[in-house]
Chains A and B, each alone.
Chain A
Amino acid sequence: SYELTQPSSVSVSPGQTARITCSGNILTKKYVRWFQQKPGQAPQLLIHQDTERPSGIPERFSGSSSGTTATLTLTGAQVDDDADYYCYSMADNIGVFGGGTRLTVL
C-alpha cells in the first residue's frame, strides 16, 4: 500500500511564507492534490495535478512537485489560512491521504 508523509505541524507569522511538504514514492508517477480543512467544515480543494489552482482559490497558494516530494507553498500567510492541510494521491484505483499538517498563523 502507498503512504504519504506530512509534517504534523507548521507555524508561520502573518505575511510570511509557509511550506508544507508531502512525501511518498507514489508521487514519482502520480499527481498530488491538496485540501484545506477548517474546524467543523468539509475539506476544500486547493491544488490539483501538482500545481493547478481551481478557480476561486487565492494566488497565494501554489504547488510544486519533484521526485518523491510535493510542496504546498503559502506566500503571504493570512490569519484566515490557519487550518489543517492534507495531501492526496491515487494509484491502482486506491486513494491515500497524508496524515495532515496543522498550519498555525500567529
Chain B
Amino acid sequence: QVQLVQSGEEVKKPGASVKVSCKAFGYSFKSYGITWARQAPGQGLEWIGWINAYDGATNHTHGLRGRVAMTTDTSTSTAYLELRGLRPDDTATYYCARQKTTGIDYWGQGSLVTVSS
C-alpha cells in the first residue's frame, strides 16, 4: 500500500539548515509529485511547495522563497526538503504528501523541527 515515511525529529539553532527526507513506498515514485506542508504548534496547515518527481520541476510559496529547496532521488524514491537560515518561527511539524494531478492524497507521518538557541 502507499506509504510515505519521513525522517525523525530535529533540533537546530537559529541560522542553521535542516534537511527532511520522505521515502515513498507502494507506488511508482516518478508518476507523482511530492507536496511539502508544515504546521506550527497549535496552528493550521501551511503549504510550502511541491516537486514533480518525473522532471524535478518545483513551485514554492512566496513566503519561503530563497530559503527552501526541494529535491528528489528517484533511485531511492525519496524526496527531500531543505530549509536554510532557520528562525524560531520555522519551528513546526513538516509533512510530505503525494501529489496527484488533482491534488494531494497520502501523507507522511510528519517530522518535528525545533529551532531554538
- A-side residues, CB < 8 A to B, are 1, 31, 33, 35, 37, 42-45, 48-49, 54, 84, 86, 88-90, 93-100
B4 and chain A: residue at smallest CB distance = A42
Stretch at the interface among B66-74, B83-91, B107-115: B107-115
Q: Take A43-B45, A86-B44 as given contacts and tell me if A97 and B37 are in contact as well, using a CB distance cutoff of 8 Å.
A: yes
Interface residues of chain A: helix, strand, loop or mixed (majority): strand
Number of interface residues of B (CB under 8 A): 21
Alpha-carbon distance between A90 and B108 when the two chains are bound, in angstroms = 20
Number of contacts between A and B (CB, 8 Å)?
Answer: 55
**B9: interface (CB < 8 Å):** no
Chain B residues with CB under 8 A of A44: 107
Whether A95 contacts B50 by the Cβ 8 Å rule is: yes
B54 at the interface (CB under 8 A from A): no
- Measured CB to CB, the closest approach of chain B to A6, in angstroms, equals 9
Nearest Cβ on chain A to B29's Cβ, whole angstroms: 19
Task: Point out which of B37, B59, B103, B107 has the most chain A C-beta atoms below 10 A from its C-beta.
Answer: B103
